[in-house]
Amino acid sequence: MKVIRCLIRGCSVLSCVALWQLASSLHANLGVITFRNVPPPTEVVESALALLKSPKLLAHVGSSLWRVFAGYGAAAVAGVAFGFAIGRSRAAGDLLLPPLELLRPIPAVAWIPLSILIFPSSELSMIFITFIGALFPIILNTIHGVANVDRRLVASARSLGGTSTAILFEVVLPAAAPSIVTGLAIGMGTSWFCLVTAEMISGQFGIGYYTWEAYTLQNYADIIVGMLIIGVLGMGSSWLLTTFGQALMPWRRAVETR
């Protein structure tokens, strides 16, 4: 069954690439969209191979990875802490939730000018943008997981003599862990999205800067190479995070296999 699913997924990707090659080669004009200036996959592969031989690749990827994981790591700590506080305490919710809900709809792009004014370097401002992008999904999913813990579990643990600390770490945290991991995975994706936006505006190295520079120089194949690198790094980061989270939740796997 797994082999068949892998074959189906592989055929789906190859079909999309074949359609892309056909549309670009024929300079297809569909009215709403046109492929006149879109490079075919063969040109993209050539540009990717050229980038692999260039020392710029490690500089761009290394800069982006550092910015993402620095901002994301801070957002994970703050988001889980705020989420637990709001989910477990009505007073904390009344104090913290209104300003967070006010700031949450503001897109990351709108934070870029302010972050440049606040922080002394563009590096810190880009890390802040990734922090903002990841923070709110993590907070909301943590609140959801903590607030929806079965109260009967908490009551049972308390009736057996469990302390508040023991209940928090042995009942609430395991029950809320799936929602927290989901929020962490979503936050990782939004971190990459926000980072690329920040790098396009104020970066000097990074995949977002590389993609924007390729556009300004009209190296259209390099634009797609940059997009694919972002996709691979984002997908890989989310996959590693989800896999690690599942490894920490053996009880979850036991329930799913029943």
Q: What is the mean pLDDT of residues 232-238?
A: 87
Predicted local confidence at residue 73, as pLDDT: 93
> Of 66, 110, 47, which Cα lies nearest the Cα of 205?
66
CA 163 to mean position of chain CA atoms: 36
How many of the other CB atoms lie within 10 Å of CB of 38? 18
Instruction: Please check the confidence at residue 258 and state whether its pLDDT lies above 60.
Output: no
Residue pLDDT, tens place only, 93-144 = 888 888 988 998 888 888 888 888 888 888 888 899 999 999 999 999 999 8
The amino acid sitting at 76 is: A
Predicted local confidence at residue 252, as pLDDT: 62
Predicted local confidence at residue 159, as pLDDT: 80
Predicted local confidence at residue 253, as pLDDT: 57
Q: Which domains does the chain have, with CATH numbers?
A: 1-38 (no CATH), 39-256 (1.10.3720.10)
Q: What is the mean pLDDT of residues 8-32?
A: 86
Predicted local confidence at residue 75, as pLDDT: 94
Residues in the chain, total: 258
Q: Which of the 8 DSSP states describes residue 161?
A: T
Q: What is the mean pLDDT of residues 16-26?
A: 87
Q: Are 208 and 200 in contact (CB under 8 A)?
A: yes
Q: What is the mean pLDDT of residues 21-50?
A: 86
Instruction: Please check the confidence at residue 54 and state whether its pLDDT lies above 80.
Output: yes
Predicted local confidence at residue 241, as pLDDT: 83
Predicted local confidence at residue 154, as pLDDT: 77
Give percent of the chain above pLDDT 90: 16
